[in-house]
Structure 1
């Protein structure tokens, strides 16, 4: 995505340099397309990302998660509703990524403890954060961008809570759907971290001289597993692949690439006398005095953007030496558009949403959780919390209050908040830089450049006029509804930031063509682009849900499309009433 964003910027700059375009007698400077890097909304988004990381790293929201965990034990049905409501409320003021990251381990632990499928609650909670994110100007980065563009186009600046009322009215219905209906639509995926976990991992069995399979033929090796093991390939030496013929000998040093569930992989490891960890740092964590010799525990680590493993390899990060954990296998969702794992898991570059199966002592897992560098799912409800958590929470509350009351613009307030978190050591400079997503930044800058090109060249006017001409005989509320539906469809195909930035000038021009206030059309764009429910790629947290919940692509369609229709119909009724259209 970063490459696509950069390509768009390069194409625009080069095109307008080679083919000058005049606006009101003046040339549109190619450098104007680079102004997005200094855009106030982008800087605000980056500051809020960093502050969200501060809350995540300090465990500021841990008491709330623990309260919900206890509620799940006592009254599961009401706890489910409370979790959805709290997730939505938090996401109105925080980036929803730290909210989801906070709740995921707790919900997985609750599911394991109470023996129910986490798939029934993880996706609804993720969607609840998207609903809550619609409610304020700072709820999502896209909201900030859209209201900033609207102000640049001459509209009265939006207040933080200017479109909270319609979200409250329709969002309540959406949350009730997520509570009562969505869990019934979602297939029951078995619990992760259990013997029946359906998640399939890519693993590599390493054969040594003492392995039972060493010296046997391939067919005899399979027989050791009851012919249940399915080998993708046999690797020998540096990059040599051996044909899987029945009479091929299995030699010491060979590596068998296998895809299977955790319990079956561990069983095959024992039957073959092989090792799953191989050269991934086993010597660093399995000395005679190491805790692994006494107590072993399986856990899953979800790779998130900005984490220790994102776009890195297990070998390159020296994961085993740094964490004291053995990486055994890697799971990557087999869905359209996602490249499958084909090489050694140790040298595979990991991406957001990948799941690493690890083995280690409870103390090592707890230490990794406290580091805040990755998302650990180990079946417990314990979350990391530091003595700086209260400071981080107070700083975040003051930032939001200062912006809401009007003491400071949100851009200034957020930057001051980042400075305060760094000064109070809630964050390190490394944490702050790691919180920034190059992908998000490039998409936003490229989208701002496209939006500028559309506005200055008259493209937005042309599209708006065509849309209005085609629907001139229809009532304004219907046109507003159609605009929102188009945005809802577009946001599930491309980035919601791109959809919002491109859609906003078109929406404003449509309102001008119709001779009606532009505010409801801008709000319709905000609501439409936040309906990222139908695909796992609609929003970055959806990828976390895809991995952690063991979902399939079709599950998002199954639960997300009805929610999209419900929210669209609700806003189509409410917006014309509120704005008197």
Structure 2
């Protein structure tokens, strides 16, 4: 959410984006440790522990140790980390215009009609690059200078939106196929340039265009917009071939569309896709105070123990829907089936580890290796194992495997299980040293232009600070 803001602020302040993005990204992980609902890892650990007979953790039960130890980590990220990171140029810092793949449809009577390819290129002062010339569905012409361009030919080109519209007017062509327009072009509904605007539409996950074609989504009919070109960030230099309306779109694709200002505004207001049209219309905030009050009430009721967080969250969702702060469509799109399945299957795996005796076996093995050592040292060593595991596999896997083992270790030692459960929670969240241990690490790796070595340069010292801090804080809080 804040990545574009960070990039923009860094560029305006002439401060390296790479010196800001990673510290902020790792700071969000530290902040997520502080409550039971801060991260999916926290929810997994708390859910598995409750399912195995442990007491229900309150919303802010471990906020104090995270505030103290996390404060030291935040100071490191603020004062030291930016000096350790090299100045790398991120992709988001590139201000050059996006290059779109498009098709110029030659019209009868336009400049390109009957002209040779060399004449068409000369008309564009040699700046137009034509990758392919398609005459029929299966016939592509060789790009010979003497080849004649005929009405109905498709010229496959790549350029910025401004240049594409310039070539459209210069050659008397169109960036859309008139036969694809669903209403007839006549005196009552002519094609007019007046009042038409260009906009870039980013396909996002959960939008009607993700993993669908424009034709299947009936884009032109539904939104009153003409798709003109496509930018594919995963392969910006490749040529998009075939009918634009039939191409399967994916999250991250950017469409160049044309339409009236009202049509573009309606698409933006629908919230189904991200529209970049250069306007400065402020977002509608008439529900903001109401939504903030409901959110604050949900957290307050859970923090005071008036109702469990699961109940207060559902009540809050109902109030958001009833007061118009949230639409049913948005609520449904926010429900991630993979996340739900991870939680459900993780609970089952935790029960299986306990039911089969595997957790007890691993716990006995760990205690035997650490025999003779005091409980605080065993706690610290176990947390370090979880930390290493979360950077190698994933935080959720470490949480699910570690929680039953933590309970068994505490039972073997005859001490309270809570500090060992928190050791799993903190260790599984400390995925600072690799870009693959946590989802946000991959996001900031791309946005900041980082390499894997950059995560180790910052993540290893931060992990040591946090590990030592929690190793001292947990035994003191739980009197081990």
Instruction: Please point out which of 294, 298, 303 is paired with 1:395.
Output: 294
Shift in Å at residue 375 of structure 1?
3.4
Mapped to 1, the partners of 2:310 and 2:461 lie a distance apart of 34
Aligned: 1:557 with 2:456: no
Q: Check 1:561–1:118 CA distance in 2 against 1; reply closer, same or farther (3 A cut).
A: same
Aligned: 1:445 with 2:344: yes
CA contact (8 A) 2:168 2:174 kept: yes
| Structure-to-structure mapping, 1:541-552, within 5 angstroms | 549=447
Mapped to 1, the partners of 2:312 and 2:470 lie a distance apart of 30
Higher alpha-carbon deviation: 160-169 or 466-475: 466-475
Mapped to 2, the partners of 1:544 and 1:269 lie a distance apart of 37
Q: Check 1:515–1:386 CA distance in 2 against 1; reply closer, same or farther (3 A cut).
A: same
Q: Deviation per CA, 1:156-180: give whole Å up to 9, x if none.
A: 3222122223332343454455556
The aligned counterpart of 1:480 is: 383
Mapped to 2, the partners of 1:141 and 1:234 lie a distance apart of 51
Q: Unaligned regions of 5+ residues in structure 2, if any?
A: 184-188
Q: Deviation per CA, 1:331-389: give whole Å up to 9, x if none.
A: 33369xxxx98765543443444444556676655544443333345567765224222
Q: Deviation per CA, 1:281-315: give whole Å up to 9, x if none.
A: 778899527532xxx455452x4333343333333
The aligned counterpart of 2:36 is: 137
CA contact (8 A) 1:185 1:558 kept: no
Mapped to 2, the partners of 1:256 and 1:470 lie a distance apart of 71
Mapped to 2, the partners of 1:226 and 1:370 lie a distance apart of 41
Mapped to 1, the partners of 2:361 and 2:8 lie a distance apart of 53
Mapped to 2, the partners of 1:275 and 1:139 lie a distance apart of 51
The aligned counterpart of 1:310 is: 210
Q: Deviation per CA, 1:56-97: give whole Å up to 9, x if none.
A: xxxxxxxxxxxxxxxxxxxxxxxxxxxxxxxxxxxxxxxxxx
Shift in Å at residue 110 of structure 1?
5.3
Aligned: 1:500 with 2:404: no
CA contact (8 A) 1:202 1:329 kept: yes
Q: Secondary structure at the match of 1:154?
A: coil
Instruction: Please point out which of 353, 362, 365 is paired with 1:454.
Output: 353
CA contact (8 A) 1:193 1:299 kept: no
Mapped to 1, the partners of 2:78 and 2:342 lie a distance apart of 33
The aligned counterpart of 2:103 is: 205
Higher alpha-carbon deviation: 324-333 or 174-183: 174-183
Q: Secondary structure at the match of 1:206?
A: strand
The aligned counterpart of 1:160 is: 59
| Structure-to-structure mapping, 1:17-416, within 5 angstroms | 100=1, 103-104=2-3, 106=5, 121=20, 124-176=23-75, 179=78, 181-182=81-82, 185=86, 187-189=88-90, 194=95, 196-197=96-97, 203-209=101-107, 226=126, 229=129, 231=131, 237-238=136-137, 240=138, 242=140, 246=144, 252-255=151-154, 275-276=174-175, 278=177, 287-288=191-192, 291-292=195-196, 296=197, 298-299=199-200, 301=202, 303-323=203-223, 325-327=225-227, 328-333=229-234, 345-358=244-257, 366-377=265-276, 383-416=282-315
CA contact (8 A) 2:201 2:257 kept: yes
Larger Rg: 2
Mapped to 1, the partners of 2:191 and 2:127 lie a distance apart of 33
CA RMSD of aligned residues (A): 4.5
Q: Secondary structure at the match of 2:230?
A: strand
Q: Secondary structure at the match of 1:151?
A: helix
Aligned length: 460
Mapped to 1, the partners of 2:306 and 2:457 lie a distance apart of 41
